[in-house]
Amino acid sequence: MPKKTAAAFSALLENFVEEQQKAFIANEPKLILIIMASTQDKELAAGCAQDVKNVRKVFKKIAAHSQFKYVEIEISGDNYTGENLMATIKKLDSMEIDVTIFYYSGHGFCYADDSSRKFPQLDMRHPADTAEYNEMGFIRKHTKNLHEILQLIRLRGGRINIAIGDCCSTVITHKRNSTSKFNMEVVEDLMSPKEKLLSKKVVTAEDNYIDIIVSAARPGQAAVTDLKNGSLFTQNFTAALAAAIAKEPRGEKYLPFHQLLQKAASLANKAAAYDIGNGKPGQQMASFEIYMENVQY
C-alpha cells in the first residue's frame, strides 16, 4: 500500500481512538459507526457513496436523539482494505453501555453448497488489487463472512452490536474450504442464543447483551442498487429508522429493531421493478438474526 494511503488512514484511525477516549473520560455512552463502502469501484461507486450518506445521516440523528456521543470512521476509497477494517476493530474501546454498528456496502457472495449459512462473504480487496474475483487464493485472502465480522466486534463492542451487509449474496462456483468451515463453526458456536423478539423490556435491560446481523439479500440473490438513491435495502432501512426515531421522545434509547428489520426486509415488490441484467427483474429479500445473552455479575 502506498505510504500516502497508510498515512491518510492512520490519521482517521487516530481521530477514531481520540473520540472514543473523550467519551470514556466523560463517562458518556457512545454510538460507534464503522462504515466500509466500495466507493472506489466503478460499478458500485455512485450507489455506495449514497449509502454512506444515508447511513451516516440516520445514525447521527439517532445518536443525537438518544443522547449518545456519535463516533464514526469510514473505510472507503483508497483506504478500502480488509487490513484497515481489522485495525479499526482492534481499536474499539467500548463501554458496556455503548452501541457498536458495522455497515458494509460493496460486493458480496456466498459459496456453493453452503446453504446452511445465511450471511455473505464480503469482498474487501484493495482498489489496486486486480486479482480474478473467483480465484480461490484471492477469496481466502481478501474476504470474510459478515458473521465473522460481528463476532470480532462483539468481543470488543458494547452492549448492543449490529453488523449490516448491503451486498449481493450470489453463489460462486467454489465451495467453502475446510479451514473456513471450521472458522465459521467456531463463530456460530460462540454466538449467544437466538432471540425471536426484541421488546422494549429486553432491549433496555442493562444486563441483556444484544447482537444483530443483517444481510440485504439471501443466498442466491443479488442486492439491487439505485445509482441515484443508493442500495434498495439501505434506503428502506434508514427510512424506517428515521420514521421510528421521529415518533420517540428525545432521550429515548429504545428502537423497535425487530419490527424495523421486518419492514425493511420486504423488498420483493420493489426489487422486481429493477432490471438486474438481460431483462431479468430483481429478486431480493433481506434476512436477519438476533442474539441475546443475559449477563449478571
CB atoms within 10 A of CB 296: 5
| CB proximity list for 296: less than 8 A, separation 6 or greater | 207
Q: What is the DSSP letter of 280?
A: P
Q: Which residue has the cell 459459496?
A: 111
Q: Is pTM, for the whole model, over 0.85?
A: yes
In this prediction, residue 150 carries a pLDDT of 97
The sheet that has 170-175: what strands, in order across it? 143-145, 121-123, 108-112, 170-175
Neighbouring-strand partners of residue 122: 108, 144
DSSP annotation of 86 reads H
d(CA 38, CA 96): 31
For 18-37, write each residue's pLDDT tens digit: 999 999 999 999 999 999 99
- Predicted pLDDT at 266: 76
Burial 102-129 (b: 16+ CB within 10 A, else e): bbbbbbbbbbeebeebbbbbbbbbbbee
Q: What is the predicted pLDDT for the residue at 19?
A: 95
User: Which ranges of the chain have pLDDT less than 50?
Assistant: 1-4
- Cell matching residue 221: 440473490
DSSP H helices, the chain, are: 3-25, 45-66, 82-90, 136-142, 146-154, 178-190, 200-204, 232-247, 257-265, 268-271
Q: Identify the CA nearest to 52 among candidates 32, 66, 70, 73.
A: 73
- Long-range contact pairs involving 269-277 (C-beta distance under 8 Å, separation at least 24): 270/224, 270/232, 270/236, 271/224, 271/232, 274/224, 274/226, 274/232, 276/222, 276/224
* Burial tier of 159 (Cβ tally within 10 Å: 0-12, 13-18, 19+): buried
Check residue 162 and give its pLDDT: 96
Nearest-angstrom CA–CA distance, 199 and 202 = 5
Calpha distance 192→291 (Å, rounded): 5
pLDDT at 132: 57
Residue 32: closest CA among 67, 69, 82 = 69
User: Structural domains in the chain?
Assistant: 3-294 (3.40.50.1460)
Whole-number Å distance between alpha carbons of 124 and 80: 7
Q: Which residue from 213, 220, 271, 275 is spatially nearest to 109, judged by alpha carbons? A: 220
State the DSSP string of 89-158: HHT----TT-EEEEEEES-EEEEET-TT--SPEEE---TT----TT-HHHHHHHEEEHHHHHHHHHTTS-
